[in-house]
Amino acid sequence: MIEVLYFAWVRERIGVPREKVETGAATVADLVEELKAREERYAAAFADVSALRVALDQELAEFSAPLSGVSEVAFFPPMTGG
Amino acid sequence: MRVRVQPEPFDYGAECAGFGQGGRDVGAVVTFLGVVRDDSGALARMEIEHYPGMTEKAIAAIAEEATARWALADVLVIHRHGALVPGEAIMMVATAARHRAAAFAAAEFLMDYLKSRAPFWKKEYGPDGAEWVAAKDEDETALKRW
C-alpha cells in the first residue's frame, strides 16, 4: 500500500489530494500506467508525464525510479516558488 | 540557519534588523524580499499551494548547500503559502557572510533554487477565472549557472 499525493492541477484533474493505492508496480512509470488504466481522470492528469514531476518520500525522483521501500509518492507540475 | 513556511504575513523590517550581526566574522548581509506582482493589471489574488513536510525539507537542503558553499555565518528563508494579494510579501531570504560577493551569490542561488526546487505552486485569480502559473524555461536554465 502506497500513499499517493497530488498537487496543483494534477490534484484538480484527479479530484482528490491524496489516496492509498494498492499496487505491485515496480517503478513510478509502472504506477502511472496502472493509474491511467483505472479511469479517464487519471489518464487526463498523466497524459503528458514530461509536464510532471515526482517525489518519492518527499525527495525529487525520476519516473524510472523503483518503488520498493517507498511509502509516499507525490505527483505535481513543475514548481513555481519564490 | 532558519527556515519558516507559514500562511501568516511576516515583518520584513523586524526580520532584517539584527540578522547576521553581532558576530566578528560577518562583513556583509544581503536581504531579498519577494512581492506579489500584478502583470495583467487584473490580478485579484494569488493562492500558493505547497507540500507540507517536503517544503521545509527541500528549503533546508537548499539553505544547507548555500551555507556550505559560501561559508555563510547565517541564512534565513521565510516563504508564505495560502492567499496573497498584489503588493503583499511572499517570501524573503537573508544571507550573512564575511564578504559581499558570497552574501550576494548565496542569496541569488537560494532564489534560483526556491523558484524551481521548492514544492510551491501559484494559482492566479482574476476576472476571467483562475489559472496555474506555469514554470518558465529560464527558471530551469538559471540553475545551470550554479
Strand partners, A21: A2
Inspect the interface and report whether the beta carbons of B120 and A81 lie closer than 8 Å.
Answer: yes
pLDDT score for B105: 98
Specify the pLDDT at position B40. Answer: 86
- Name the DSSP class of B104: H
CB contact under 8 A, A58 and B54: yes
- Whether B117 and A60 lie within 8 Å, measured CB to CB: yes
Give the Cα separation of B140 and B8 in Å (integer). Answer: 29
Indicate yes or no: CB of B114 within 8 angstroms of CB of A8: no
Summarize pLDDT for A11-62 with one digit per residue, the tens: 999 999 999 999 999 999 999 999 999 999 999 999 999 999 999 999 999 9
Q: Cα–Cα distance between B57 and B66 in angstroms, integer? A: 14
| Residue A82 CB burial class (10 angstroms; 0-12, 13-18, ≥19) | buried
B24, B96 Cβ separation under 8 angstroms: no
Q: Which helix (H) or strand (E) holds B131?
A: strand B129-132
For B108, which residue in chain A has the nearest alpha carbon? A82
**For A5, what's the count of Cα atoms within 13 Å in the CB-facing half-sphere?**
20
Counting as low any pLDDT under 50, the low residues of chain B are none
Which residue among A7, A55, A79 sits closest to B116, beta carbon to beta carbon?
A: A79
Q: Do residues B16 and B94 make contact, with C-beta atoms less than 8 angstroms apart?
A: yes
Which residues 6+ apart lie within 8 Å of B129 measured at CB?
Answer: none
Q: Which domains does chain B have, with CATH numbers?
A: 2-143 (3.90.1170.40)
Task: Tell me the β-bridge partners of A13.
Answer: none
What cell does B125 get? Answer: 485569480
B4 Cβ under 8 Å from any chain A Cβ: no
Q: Which CATH architecture has domain A2-76?
A: Roll (3.10)
> What ipTM score was computed for the predicted complex, to two decimals?
0.95
Which pLDDT does position B2 carry in this prediction? 96
In angstroms, the CA A33 to CA B115 distance is: 29
**B118 reaches A (C-beta below 8 A):** yes
List chain A domain ranges: 2-76
* Tens-digit pLDDT profile for residues B105-144: 999 999 999 999 999 999 999 999 999 999 998 888 889 9
Q: Which of residues 29-58 of A touch B (CB under 8 A)?
A: 55, 58
Please indicate whether, in this complex, the C-beta atoms of A79 and B123 are within 8 angstroms of each other.
no
What was the pLDDT predicted at B22?
A: 81
Q: Could you give phi then psi for residue B11, rounded to 5 degrees?
A: -100, 100
